[in-house]
Amino acid sequence: MIPRYSPKDMAALFSDEARFGAMLEVELLAAEALSQLGIVPVADAAACRTRAPEIDAAFVADVDAREAITNHDTAAFVDIVQDRIGAPEGTWIHYGLTSSDVVDTALCWQLAKAADLLIEASTEFVAVLVRRARELIDVPVVGRTHGMHAEPTTFGAKMALFALAAERDRERLVRARAAIAVGKLSGAVGTYSNIDPSVEDFVCEALGLTPVPATQVIARDRHAELLWAIAATGATIEHLATEVRHMARSEVGEVEEAFAPGQKGSSAMPHKRNPILSERLCGLARVLRGYLGAGLEDVALWHERDISHSSVERVVLPDACLLALYVLRKATGLVDGLVINDERALRNLNEGSLGLVYSQSVLLTLIDHGMTRDDAYRIVQRAARSAVESREQFRGIVEADAEVTLSVAELDRAFDLDRMLTHRHRYLTALEGITV
C-alpha cells in the first residue's frame, strides 16, 4: 500500500520485521512445547529463547540474501535463525514442522491483531454516527426516492440508519476476527505425522489462537471472511459518502464537508468547496471490494496444499487491512465534522419542493372523507402536475380545486411537518442496543 493510505499502527503489523517476528515466536513456542514432551532438551529450548535474534533491518536483509540462494523464503528464515542461535541448540528450530505451520499461524496472529485495530476504529465510527443521530433527530430534511423529492425525514434518521449499518459491519468484523484467530502445527498434510497435537495446542494458547483441523494450510475461507467484512464496511461507508456528495451539490446545499483554515477547494476556482473526502471514500471502497474477489479465488487450492494463494495474500491481506483502517478513520472524521445547513434543508423541503412532499397526506385525507382512492389519486396527481408546471405552491392549487372540500384545519393537518415526523424518535430507540 502506498504511504498515503497507510496508517502507521497498521503498517507496523505488516512490516517484514513484524512478519519475521511473528514467525520466530511460533518457532520458539514450538521448541518450548517439544521440550515439555521430552523431545527437545529443556536447556536447549531455553537457549533458543535466550539467544533468539533481534528481528531488525539487518536480520531481514540476511534472510533476503539467503533466499536468493534457497529460493524459499521460510527455509531462508529458518537458516538465519538457526545460525544466529547457534548449534547444537538452534537445530531444534523448525523440528517436525512444515513451512505453512509457521507462516499460516503467524499470519493469522497478525490478522487477529489487525482485526483488533479495525474493530476499534469501527466502534469509533459507530459512536460518532450514533451521536450525530441523536443531535440531528429533530432537524428535518426532504427525503428522496429515485433522486426525487418524496416525503420529509430528518438528518438524525439518516444518521441512525447509517449507524445501524455500521454496527452490522462491526459485528461482521468481530465474527471475522474469531474466524481468523486460529492456528495449526500439524505437519505436511495436517496429519500430525511428525509433531504431537499438544504442540499445536501449546503454541495456539500462548498466541491467543484456536487450534483447528487443517490440511497443510489453514482453510482460506477464513481469510475471505475477513475480506468480506472489510468490503462490507467499505460499502457502507461508500453509501454514506454518496449521500453526502448528493446533498452537498450546489443546487441542494444541505450539507458540507468540514473545510479547514487554509484549505483550497480548487486550484483554479477559489469559490469551490468540493466533497473531496466523500469522493475519495467512494473510490477506495471499490478497491476494498476488489480484494474480496481475490480472497474468494484463494479458497480453492489443490489437494492438501498449493501456493497459488501465497503471492495474492502478500499483497491483498496487508493492503486490505491498511486501507480499511484508513477508510474507517476518515469516515469517522467526515461524519464528525459534517456541516448541516438546516435552514437550506428546510427551504428545500418547503419552498423547493413546492409542498409536494405532502401529496400522500392530502391523498389519505381525501380518502378519509369518503372519496375513492382512484378519484383522490387523480385529483392530487393533477394538482401536483399543475404545481410543477406553474411553479406555484401545491397547497394553494389543492385549495383552489373545486373537487377538494377539505376544511382549512384538515389541510393544516395534511401539511403539518411535525405530524409527519411524529415517530422520528423510533430511530433512536433502535440505537439503544448498540454499545460504544
**Domain residue limits, the chain:** 1-95, 104-197+215-258+269-343, 346-430
Q: How far is CA 385 from CA 148, 231, 240, 354, 396, in A?
A: 14, 43, 32, 11, 13
Amino acid occupying residue 396 = G
Please provide the average confidence, as pLDDT, over all residues in the chain.
Answer: 96
407-423 pLDDT, tens digit per residue, is 999 999 999 999 999 99
Q: Could you give the percent of the chain with pLDDT greater than 70?
A: 100
Q: What is the pLDDT of residues 189-236, one digit of tens each?
A: 999 999 999 999 999 999 999 999 999 999 999 999 999 999 999 999
Q: Given this model, what pLDDT does residue 261 score?
A: 86
CB neighbours of residue 102 within 10 Å: 25
Question: Which residue in 17, 15, 16, 49 sits closest to 32, CA to CA?
Answer: 49
- The pLDDT score that the predictor gives to residue 357 is 96
Residue 284, pLDDT score: 98
Locus of grid cell 423510533: 426
Strand partners, 210: 182
Locate 180 and state its grid cell: 481468523
> Which pLDDT belongs to residue 100?
95
With bands split at pLDDT 50, 70 and 90, how would you rate the model's confidence at 99? Answer: very high
Asked whether residue 436 carries a pLDDT value surpassing 90, the answer given is no
Which one is catalytic: 72, 94, 100, 146? 146
Whether the per-residue pLDDT at 347 is higher than 90: the answer is yes
Tell me, what's the pLDDT at 270? 81
Using the predicted structure, report yes or no on whether residue 245 has a pLDDT greater than 90.
yes
The H or E element spanning position 239 is helix 221-247
**The pLDDT of residue 268:** 75
Which grid cell sits at 54? 533481534
Q: Is the dihedral of CA 386, 389, 392, 393 positive or negative?
A: positive
Distances in whole angstroms, Cα of residue 16 to Cα of each of 58, 191, 297: 11, 30, 25
CATH architecture, domain 104-197+215-258+269-343: Up-down Bundle (1.20)
CB atoms near residue 294 (< 10 Å): 17
pLDDT at 68: 96
pLDDT of residue 159: 98
The answer to whether domain 1-95 and domain 346-430 are alike in fold is no
Q: Tell me, what's the pLDDT at 265?
A: 76
Contact between 82 and 62 under an 8 Å Cβ cutoff? The reply is no
pLDDT at 260: 78
Looking at 257-303, which runs of residues are DSSP E strands?
none
Pick the CATH number of 1-95 from 3.30.450.20, 1.10.3080.10, 1.10.275.10, 1.10.150.50: 1.10.275.10
Q: How many CB atoms lie within 10 A of CB 258?
A: 13
Q: Which long-range contacts (CB under 8 A, 24 or more apart) does 127-130 make?
A: 127/436, 128/332, 128/335, 128/336, 129/159, 129/160, 129/162, 129/163, 129/166, 129/335, 130/159, 130/160, 130/163, 130/431, 130/434, 130/436
Sign of CA dihedral 163, 167, 172, 177: positive
Query: Does 146 qualify as catalytic in the annotation?
Result: yes
List of E strands, 34-136: none
Find out whether 109 and 13 touch, Cβ atoms under 8 Å: no
Element (H, E) at 340: strand 339-340
Residue from 72, 193, 266, 308 carrying the catalytic annotation? 266
The DSSP-derived string for 174-235 is HHHHHHHSEE----TTSS-SSS-HHHHHHHHHHHT-EE---SSS--THHHHHHHHHHHHHHH
Task: Please give the angle made by the CA atoms of 183, 106 and 110, to the nearest 5 degrees.
Answer: 105
Strands (E), 69-207: 140-145, 148-154, 182-183
CATH superfamily of 346-430: Fumarase/aspartase (C-terminal domain) (1.10.40.30)
Query: What are the tens digits of pLDDT across the range 261-320?
Result: 888 777 778 887 889 999 999 999 999 999 999 999 999 999 999 998 999 999 999 999
| Res 342: pLDDT | 96
